[in-house]
Structure 1
Amino acid sequence: MTIDETTLKSMFSDIATAITADRDRLCALDGVIGDADHGIAMELGFNAARDAVAALGPEADPTAVLNTAAKAFLNAVGASSGPLYATAFMRAGAVAKGKAVLSDADFVEVFRAMAQGIRDRGKAEPGEKTMIDAWVPAAEAAAAASAGGASAAEAIDAAAKAADKGAEATKAMVAAKGRSARLGDRSIGHVDPGAASAVTVITAIAKSLSAAQA
């Protein structure tokens, strides 16, 4: 399939819808080890991104869509997730630069750039109970699936499954980053809210691509 600005606009709309549906659960997760506002922050960010990219004309290329989403998300969310997702979309836009449409393989590279952007900006590594514990295995799974000939939708579906396993694994981890780190061993037994929302985002991307491919 070819992925253009229309596909990406739909993708951001689908993510926003999924995050809104999951907002209360994400806030509840964050209430255990954080400030109970993660779902609200993610909803604000993705609603802003959705609205900003929807306002772009049909001449916008994938890079313009991704960069616009980055700026809108950052402007809407001052919390830690703002700079993380803004960096993700900026990195993705850099990978897409010069392309009016993205191939399946191109999109997987865009997705991997998002994960790497979050990892670099957050200075986090797997095992520290952050969204990285969902994003890194997701990126690896997408790359492996794509290398095996999977479509972008199939590759991101594999990524969503890997992200879900990664998020679930954060239950057994001691938080090492952010405000939840102050809880020490008391953070054990709870899924990291950032990892949980990453699953929601990645699953929404997979479903959006599947719908576009159908």
Structure 2
Amino acid sequence: MQFTSEQRLDDGALEREFTLGEIPGTLWTHGSAAPAPLILMAHNNGLPKKDGRLVARARHTAACGYAVATIDAAGCGDRPRSTADEQARADLRRAMQAGEPVDGIFEALVGPLVEKAAPEWRTTLDALLALPEIGGPVGYSGWTALGIRLAVSEPRIAAAGFFAGGYVPLAQREEARQITVPLLVLLQWDDEGNPRQRALDLFDSFGSKEKTLHANLGGHTGTPWFELEDGCRFLDRHLK
């Protein structure tokens, strides 16, 4: 891992850009005598790590006493996308706008993205936990499809927060039953891009004995700010 830049933000957080091979990432930390618990914060693949909503969530979570890291996985942000991925994204947008079935297109796009992204996140986790200012345990927050895969395959993740999405690849829907860590799932009741009932069915399938669903009125980007505060309290219960 190589740090390529750093700046002290007005809230006291230290924001550092890093590269890990071909993987670009950002790490936010606050000064602390003891190693901080780590939160892996993933946006939906295709949105960059510098997306304003992601950065706001990361900085707020870091201010609550966590080290927070995000990366641009393959095909995300400035990393190159394959011709097939670009075509699948265009087909998905067209089908959703036309109200046509999208399951087949979604599987062709998101399934491979998860398969590529999960190993890079595990590699990043290894490197982050080797830093003296970061300890355990580890939490996850964000993209549901990737979060399911990591929660099942990565034993170092002790709790997870998912932004509920009805469109989750079949492989991850099956894996959801194997999840055992505590979960906090956010659902936007009027999300135009994620069918409500499918999101509820997915929540029902999670195998965790402790799982909480917060549903709020509004569209995809309308999650209330107080949910971020509740999310930090959820992390505090399980990681501190």
Q: What TM-score does the superposition give when structure 2 sets the normalisation length? A: 0.30
Which structure shows the bigger proportion of residues in helix conformation?
1
Larger RCO (CA within 8 A; separation ≥ 6): 1
Q: What TM-score does the superposition give when structure 1 sets the normalisation length? A: 0.33
Whichever of the two has the greater Rg, that structure is 2
Which structure shows the bigger proportion of residues in strand conformation?
2
